[in-house]
Amino acid sequence: MTLSNLTSRIPGFHRMTCEERLEVVAAFAGLDDAAHGQLAAPGNIDPHLADHMIENAVATLSIPIGVATNMRVDGRDVLVPMATEESSVVAAVCNSARQCYESGGFVTSLSGNLMIAQVQLTGISDPENARLRILERRDEIAAACNACDPMLVRLGGGFQDLEVRVIASRGGPMVVTHLIVDTRDAMGANTVNTMAETLAPSIENWTGGRVFLRILSNLADRRLARARAIWPVEAIGGAGVRDGMISAFHFAEADPYRAATHNKGIMNGVSAVVLATGNDTRAVEAGAHAYAARGGRYSTLTHWEITAEGDLAGSIELPMPVGLVGGATKIHPTAQACLKILRVATAAELARIIAAVGLAQNFGAMKALATTGIQKGHMALHANNVAIAAGAVGEEVGRLAAILVEKRQVRQDIAAAELARLRGG
């Protein structure tokens, strides 16, 4: 087959087994034995399970899970599994948590397990009138929502509140109904989407308008996880370090270019726990960044202050739509094992621990930036990756990485040359 007659039209691809699909892909791409074998190797998830989770599955991708130590959350010591491909992330949480362990660790809270579903109504000439017509049906709406998920109601969840907003848009006014639902230990996307779809025809009947979208909002600002901690000034290296960190925060708070990186660092920790527990990283990330921009200008998810005693006080608040049931959390065996490590009984507990990890991560990044710079710690770990990429195996990895750090040249070409020297001599 020549490159020009390769076709991506593969009838029946979705009906094949994982193994059959991989053969087709391997032939298409001309995969060598090494690449084919890599994709065929089972990870810690059965290919047949992968096939049920997504469409057209051909393989799985393994990501390391590190465990963060030193975390004390609401008076309980927890070990936190973190799935990440990025070096330094786990180490930063361990170090940051150690420096506030003696002062009590993290205190956390959650605003509630409330998710919001939106129903978009268009083609209305009297939107304010329509808004009230919908609000008048609150009891009917509550009953219709709860009838969608009686199990959720039995668990103490279900419809909680109704909001109807009139928004101006380029296409004219829209009447947007918010169904506010307690989804208990589920992230709740499917749950609230079903409710929104069920209600849509009634909303059209009551108003004479036309409904288009019926979907949850990822700006889950009724499900805010919060964490705070005090780092004693002597535990973090003195007032100079503290003041440098406060200045780093002021910079991020005032400048979206810096805030994006500040918050990315927070999400290094947050997303790693979200992924390890089989939750939806994109949902949490979308919510976090939208929340960071709620004031009309993108800013920080954390705040840093100096206490009356001169210590460093950090706090974080962000939407945390995570669950223990539903999605991949319940069916991925590794996610289930990670939840066992965390020893959490509710989605609320999980959300609170994740907020604490986000705060710890931010402390670590800000302290490194305000003192030695990020590269010192980063490079030591990055050097391991470069050494492996250069072909180092076993004990060679540590030895070669140490040489690269010592030379302050963590580069592929240097690694190759140094590895050859190591082996030669």
Q: Is 396 a catalytic residue?
A: no
Part in contact with ligand NAD (CB under 6 A); list of ranges 24-32, 60-68, 179-187, 354-362: 179-187
Among 161, 178, 378, 396, which one carries the catalytic annotation? 378
Burial of residue 237, with CB atoms counted within 10 A of its CB: 0-12 exposed, 13-18 middle, 19 or more buried: middle
Kindly state whether residue 184 participates in binding ligand NAD, applying the rule CB under 6 A: yes
* Residues of this chain, 215-234, that bind ligand NAD according to CB under 6 A: 216, 218
Out of 81, 105, 323, 358, the residue judged to bind ligand NAD by CB under 6 A: 323
CA distance 202 to 87: 52
Helix (H, G, I), strand (E, B) or coil at 65: strand
Q: Is 378 a catalytic residue?
A: yes
CB of 89 to ligand NAD, least distance (A): 22
Residues 258 and 370 sit within 8 Å (Cβ to Cβ): no
* Residue closer to ligand NAD (CB basis): 215 or 402: 215
Part in contact with ligand NAD (CB under 6 A); list of ranges 125-133, 221-229, 325-333, 402-410: 325-333
The two beta strands, 76-83 and 107-110, are unpaired
Out of 326, 358, 364, 377, the residue judged to bind ligand NAD by CB under 6 A: 326
Query: What are the backbone angles phi and psi of residue 388, rounded to the nearest 5°?
Result: -65, -45
Residue (of 69, 67, 50) closest to 59 by Cα position: 50
* Residue closer to ligand NAD (CB basis): 21 or 184: 184
* Residue closer to ligand NAD (CB basis): 152 or 410: 152
CA distance 391 to 418: 11
Part in contact with ligand NAD (CB under 6 A); list of ranges 25-33, 146-154, 302-310, 312-320: 146-154
Out of 50, 325, 337, 381, the residue judged to bind ligand NAD by CB under 6 A: 325
CA distance 304 to 192: 35
Q: How many residues bind ligand NAD (CB under 6 A)?
A: 22
Kindly state whether residue 155 participates in binding ligand NAD, applying the rule CB under 6 A: yes
CA distance 164 to 175: 7
Q: Residue 97 corresponds to which amino acid? A: A
CB of 266 to ligand NAD, least distance (A): 19
CB of 402 to ligand NAD, least distance (A): 42
Q: Residue 241 corresponds to which amino acid? A: V
Length of the chain: 425
Burial of residue 129, with CB atoms counted within 10 A of its CB: 0-12 exposed, 13-18 middle, 19 or more buried: exposed
Which residues contribute to the site for ligand NAD (CB under 6 A)? 149, 151-152, 155, 184-191, 193, 216, 218, 280, 283, 323, 325-328
